[in-house]
Amino acid sequence: MFLDEVHIFVKAGDGGRGCVSFRREKYVPRGGPNGGDGGHGGSVVVRASVHWATLAHLYNRHHVKAGRAEHGRGSNQSGASGEDAIIEVPLGTVIRDFDSNEVLADLVSDGQEAVVARGGRGGRGNQHFATPTRQAPRFAEAGEAGQECHIALELKLLADVGLVGLPNAGKSTLLARVSAARPKIADYPFTTLEPHLGVVSRGGGARSLVFADIPGLIEGAHAGAGLGHRFLRHIERCRVLIHLVDLASDEPLRRQVEVLHAELALHDPALASRTSLLVGTKADAASDEHRRDEVAELAATMGVGWAVISAVSGEGVEGMLEQVFALAERG
């Protein structure tokens, strides 16, 4: 199951209270205070790990609570601190405060951590409050309560290149052609129901890029139409976008380009100006040869590079990949 968003209520551990105690030993009638400190409460920590690809393992984990600290004891013994609660997430996870929508952290590297709820500080024992004029304090500090909050974990895939297009534009076929990924391929709209990643290598593996294929976009996707709106976040990190237009479709190419560009811009204005390449697909099934020229004309209007390919026969794919790698290396 591909799960890219979960909500979790987190509660850090409370600090232990300080101890009120006095030294009692034979021949030491006035030993003085020796109450130990309470331990510190455990914190809730979110950690990025390469061992996870989605948030599915957190599907039923609605509450996470860190360990409570022990109270202080006599003989100056401090209480044990509470154990931290670790939530492991895939790389590319954004942590938000559920109520304010404030971004708390963006975890993009293996082992990167963020404390989302800090444990309460332990209270001081009465040994800390002895003074020359108050040699037998009969009080100690209470431990502080641990922080608590409601967080939203949102996964944004870490990919270099994003494949975008209308349903059945050939995105999955292209990904299967150039990588080892095997997304479902069929001749009906919305065959792709979840994003897929594939690694594309060149030069014997010396150069490689991660390609992301998301479900097809339709007009109104940014507002919730179709399936693509749920996954538009997964191309926000991509350095290069490949706009795929179907040469064999009855839909005018210009119309396809306008819908894609508009939906990307409405979701995130930065995506409209992202480095991109216009690619005409299904060249083997296109009946109108003039559509190839139309791709070049549209690309010139957009100010981007272009290619015409057939992911089935392999026509033009190598040339397209060279352009993509060149764009990605330029930044």
CB 69 within 8 A of CB 49: no
Question: Residue 220 and residue 225: Cα distance in Å, rounded?
Answer: 5
What mean pLDDT do residues 25-40 have? 89
Which amino acid does the sequence have at 62? Answer: H
- Whose tokens are 């991509």? That residue is 238
pLDDT of residue 187: 65
Could you tell me how many residues make up the chain? 331
pLDDT of residue 155: 92
> For residue 173, which of 156, 196, 194, 157 has the smallest C-alpha distance?
196
pLDDT of residue 192: 62
pLDDT of residue 48: 96
- Whose tokens are 């296109």? That residue is 286
Tell me: pLDDT of 190 over 90.
Answer: no
pLDDT of residue 113: 97
Question: Residue 306 and residue 257: Cα distance in Å, rounded?
Answer: 13
What mean pLDDT do residues 92-107 have? 95
Out of 160-164, 229-233, 316-320, pick the least confident: 229-233
Beta bridge partners of 107: 93
* DSSP conformation class of 98: T
pLDDT over 70, % of the chain: 92
pTM: 0.80
Q: Quick check: helix, strand or coil at residue 13?
A: coil
- 272-300 b/e with 16+ CB inside 10 Å = b? beebbbbbbbbbeebeeeebeebbeebbe
User: What tens digit of pLDDT does each residue of 224-254 get?
Assistant: 555 556 678 888 889 999 999 999 888 889 9
> For residue 48, which of 119, 4, 114, 118 has the smallest C-alpha distance?
114
Backbone angles phi, psi at 319, to 5 degrees: -65, -40
What topology does CATH give the domain 1-155? Spo0b-associated Gtp-binding Protein; Chain: A, (2.70.210)
- Burial class for 107, CB neighbours closer than 10 Å (0-12, 13-18, 19+): buried
CB 169 within 8 A of CB 310: no
What mean pLDDT do residues 94-113 have? 95
Sheet with 44-48, side-by-side order of all strands: 85-89, 44-48, 113-117
Chain centroid to Cα 142, Å, comes to 38
pLDDT of residue 128: 94
Question: Residue 296 and residue 316: Cα distance in Å, rounded?
Answer: 14
What topology does CATH give the domain 161-330? Rossmann fold (3.40.50)
Q: What is the largest CA-CA distance in the chain?
A: 107
CB 107 within 8 A of CB 91: yes
> For residue 260, which of 161, 189, 185, 162 has the smallest C-alpha distance?
162
Question: Residue 110 and residue 91: Cα distance in Å, rounded?
Answer: 7
pLDDT over 90, % of the chain: 55
What mean pLDDT do residues 116-124 have? 97
What mean pLDDT do residues 29-55 have? 93
CB 317 within 8 A of CB 178: yes
Rg of the Cα atoms in the chain: 29
Tell me: pLDDT of 297 over 80.
Answer: yes
pLDDT of residue 180: 86
pLDDT of residue 228: 54
pLDDT band at 280 (very low <50, low <70, confident <90, very high): very high
- Whose tokens are 């507002």? That residue is 223
pLDDT of residue 95: 97
CB 239 within 8 A of CB 209: no
- In DSSP notation, 266-307 reads HH-HHHHTS-EEEEEE-GGG-S-THHHHHHHHHHHHHT-EEE
Number of Cβ atoms within 10 Å of the Cβ of 99:
10
pLDDT of residue 320: 93
Question: Residue 148 and residue 98: Cα distance in Å, rounded?
Answer: 12
pLDDT band at 317 (very low <50, low <70, confident <90, very high): very high
Domain ranges of the chain: 1-155, 161-330
CA angle centred on 287, ends 282 and 288, rounded to 5°: 100
